[in-house]
Structure 1
Amino acid sequence: MEIIKLRDGDEFIKLGQALKAAGLVESGVEAKEVIQDGEAKVNGETDTRRGRKLYDGDVVQFDGQEIKIEK
């Protein structure tokens, strides 16, 4: 499981940014496509919003990988 640390002062990271930060997609455009195609899950539920805000404790599943968001 990959851990994404929120930057100091940040309360959240957007779903597209998290996929890119974890190296699971190459670009924002690719992130947008895979999210809109329903390939990403947040806390076990499919979410098609690229701007979905992820907070401390949220878990993203994509392409057999998991990303956990931590403060």
Structure 2
Amino acid sequence: MIEFILTGPYIPLIQLLKATNLVQTGGEAQIVVSEGQVLYNGQVDTRKRLKVKVGDIVEFNGKKILVK
């Protein structure tokens, strides 16, 4: 599991995927989110501007990110 330390109140989902190196570009992040490949707290979520906060878990491509 990847632990991501949040420095503000939230991080947009697409930026989180880029910051954890699970995707190479913002465009790639938008595609995987819009295609339903990303789970947010265990459910598919296609909102590109989703605000991920402390305690949330994001899953993509077999990897989990815990936001702390």
What TM-score range do you get, normalising by the shorter chain? over 0.9
Q: Distance in 1 between matches of 2:12 and 2:4?
A: 11
How far the C-alpha of 1:50 sits from its partner, in A, is: 1.1
Offset from partner CA, 1:37-56 (integer Å, 9 cap, x none):
00000000100011100110
Identity %: 40
Aligned to 1:34: 32
Amino acid corresponding to residue 3 of structure 1 in structure 2: E
Alignment of 1:1-71 (within 5 A): 1-7=1-7, 10-70=8-68
Q: Which runs of 4+ in 1 moved over 2 A?
A: none
Aligned residues: 68
Q: Return 5+ residue gaps in structure 1 as ranges.
A: none
Q: Distance in 2 between matches of 1:62 and 1:32?
A: 13
Q: TM-score, normalised by structure 2?
A: 0.97
Q: Return 5+ residue gaps in structure 2 as ranges.
A: none
Q: TM-score, normalised by structure 1?
A: 0.93
Q: Distance in 2 between matches of 1:3 and 1:18?
A: 11
